[in-house]
Amino acid sequence: MLALTVITLLLVMAVALVRAFAGPNVFDRVMAANLFGTKTVLLIAAISYLYGSPEFLDIALVYALINYISVIGVLRVTELRNEQRGTKEGA
Amino acid sequence: MSAVLAILSGACLLLGSFLLLTGALGFLRFADFYARLHACGVTETLATALIILGLMLLSDSYLPPFKLLLILLFVLFSSPTASHALAKAAWNAGVRPRDNQGKRDLPLPAGER
């Protein structure tokens, strides 16, 4: 059952990459990156149980923290760029 | 006792994987950015909670479930916040909801441009 979960997680990460490349605007790509990061956290946790070594969970926790910060950072950049440009063009 | 736990964790993992697949399908196929954001939110909260619950039931010692609980707590706090920040940034950048033909003339609430 754990292997099935790992395969599903890899599949969802592939789907996130497809959406990241196909995404029309920049926010689809940020959302795909956010989804990819969250699923990596789950993948690390599942693989740590698959191989029976529970110390990987610290890595998963740190990865969740960093993933959140990166999403907020990228959104900060897009917000600043829109404020400087001052136009509200439709995406 | 451990057989019941194994069955329960298998069921949780199976349900979590199913939700992941449906969320990913929605994330790929929906026409509108905000609909995709909803599908992404589904996979981040419920599916993550189910999978982490399934993993917690699998372990026999007491430290890994506690770490998994911390991961779950943080993800349940951070992913709605990230989705909200994403939606706010997209709305400020001018991304407006579209219908499934991709046209933009959805009736916006009064006072919105």
Instruction: Residue A24: list chain B partners with CB under 8 A.
Output: 33
Q: Which of B51, B87, B3, B28 is nearest to A14 (CA)?
A: B28
Domain assignment of residue B18, yes or no: yes
* In a domain? residue B73: yes
This complex has an ipTM of: 0.84
| Largest pairwise CA distance in chain B | 60
Q: Work out whether the CA dihedral B82, B85, B91, B93 comes out positive or negative.
A: negative
Q: Is residue B108 part of a domain?
A: no
Per-residue three-class SS string for A14-71: HHHHHHHHHCCCHHHHHHHHHHHHHHHHHHHHHHHHHCCCCCHHHHHHHHHHHHHHHH
Closest residue of chain B to A12, computed from CA coordinates: B24
Q: How many domains does chain B have?
A: 1
- Residue A7 makes CB contacts below 8 A (sequence gap 6+) with none
Residue of B nearest to A71 (CA): B82
CA distance B29 to B24: 9
Does residue B73 surpass a pLDDT of 90?
yes
In Å, how far are A47, B55, B56 from B63, measured between CA atoms? Answer: 17, 13, 10
pLDDT, tens digit, 9 for 90 and up, residues A21-42: 988 888 999 999 999 999 999 9
Q: Are A47 and A53 in contact (CB under 8 A)?
A: no
Residues of B in contact with A46 (CB under 8 A): 51, 55
- Whether B104 is in a domain gets the answer no
Interchain CB contacts (distance < 8 Å): A and B:
142
- Paired tokens of B48: 């993550």
Contacts with A25 from chain B: Cβ below 8 Å: 33, 90, 93, 95
Shortest distance between the Cα of A33 and any Cα of chain B, in A, equals 11
Evaluate whether residue B25 is within a structural domain. yes
**pLDDT in the model for residue B60:** 83
**Nearest in space to A61 (alpha carbons), one of B74, B100, B90:** B74
CA nearest to A43, candidates B48, B21, B64, B45? B48
Mean local confidence (pLDDT), A9-25: 91
Assigned domain for B103 exists = no
Residue A87 pLDDT level (bands cut at 50, 70, 90): low
- Is residue B105 situated within a structural domain? no
Determine, yes or no, domain membership for B2: no
Distance from CA of B21 to the nearest CA of A (A): 7
Write down the pLDDT at residue B70: 92
Amino acid symbol at B73? L
Contact B67 A71 (CB under 8 A): no
Range of the domain at B69: 8-94
Phi, psi dihedral angles at B108 (to 5 degrees): -80, 155
